[in-house]
Amino acid sequence: MSTEENKVTSATEWEDIPAEKFQIIGTDDFSGDIIARPKVGYWADAWRRFRENKIALVALIILVVMVIMVIFGPAISGYNFEQMDTSAINQTPNAQHWFGTDSLGRDLFARVWQAGRVSLAIGIVGAVVASVVGSIYGGIASYFGGIVDDIMMRIVEVLLSIPYLIIVILISVVTDSKSMGTMMLALTLTGWCGIARLVRGQMLQLKSQEYVLAANALGVSPFKTIMRHMIPNTIGIIIVAITFDIPGYIFSEAFLSYIGLGIQPPDTSWGALASAAQQNFMFYPYQLFFPSIMIALTMLSFTLLGDGLRDALDPKLRK
């Protein structure tokens, strides 16, 4: 049979098939355009991944509880943190004084949470201020580059080489003060250098991205480019850096207060409480236990929280 005859036979066979056999199925409801799952943004996905990290979530809960107690704890005990009772000197924890009393008869429960206000304020405010200054400084250095970057980074290296203990002593002598403001100034004076180097390194990678080049081509000012494009794209790294810096500031404040260079009476902090309690540690160890456990628990919780945020905000781990 020739090729032409085969074509005629095939056409005849197709004509014998009913038309309903050729109905198009599966496109009338536009099922191909349906999204398999709802759209998830960057921050929503980061929160989902953070919740899966049970250790970081527990650390966050502990910090929230501690912040609540720091705010309302001094009022719960019913005692003023400065109130002295000579009839209740060095009492062990009991129903009236839950954490006991110190050598002047002051309630330690109220004093521990009052001290937490100072320690947490120095840690959080100091880390935030240092991060803001360091982010702007690092962003300017990385954006302009060249000789500007070299000069600015050399300044950072010089400041990092100065021990912060010397800075604290000098500021205390010059200002003749050991208040909370003096402590915060001394700790943040060079504390921003680390975040400046971190932000600079990250922004050097962002500098060659298309949206930055487009902003430059449109004539956007360097300051607006840094504040609106470069710093927001490093916000995840900055948040993680803040959570890791807070324990360092809290420990620095506790150390300085412990050796007598920090917060002085009538104000108090966890480091100042530990410094006052170490003289009677052999006889009344509970006086040192409570401020010490607060310092350790806060530092550990912030470190675990920072570790969880680092994993949650890393776009490379996004699924």
Where residue 155 sits, what CATH number does that domain have?
1.10.3720.10
More confident position, 150 or 25: 150
What one-character-per-residue DSSP string does 108-128 give?
HHHHHHHHHHHHHHHHHHHHH
Identify whether 32 is part of a domain.
no
Query: E strands within the chain?
Result: none
Q: Kindly report the length of the chain.
A: 319
| pLDDT attached to residue 301 | 92
Identify whether 43 is part of a domain.
no
265-319 pLDDT, tens digit each:
777 888 888 888 888 888 888 898 999 999 999 999 998 998 888 888 776 555 5
15-45 pLDDT, tens digit each:
666 666 666 655 555 555 555 566 666 677 7
Q: What share of the chain is helix, strand, coil (3-state, %, to 5)?
A: 70, 0, 30
Identify whether 213 is part of a domain.
yes
Identify whether 93 is part of a domain.
yes
Identify whether 18 is part of a domain.
no
Identify whether 70 is part of a domain.
yes
Least confident of 76-80, 223-227, 314-318: 314-318
Express as a percent the part of the chain with pLDDT over 90.
12
DSSP code at position 228: I
Identify whether 10 is part of a domain.
no
| pLDDT attached to residue 5 | 53
**Average pLDDT of the segment spanning 103-114:** 89
Identify whether 2 is part of a domain.
no
The C-alpha angle 19, 23, 24, rounded to 5 degrees, equals: 150
Euclidean distance between CA atoms 234 and 199, whole angstroms: 7
Q: How confident is the model at residue 171 (pLDDT cuts 50, 70, 90)?
A: confident
Domain holding 97, by residue range, is 55-317
**What would the two tokens of residue 34 be?**
């349906």
Number of domains in the chain: 1
| pLDDT attached to residue 34 | 57
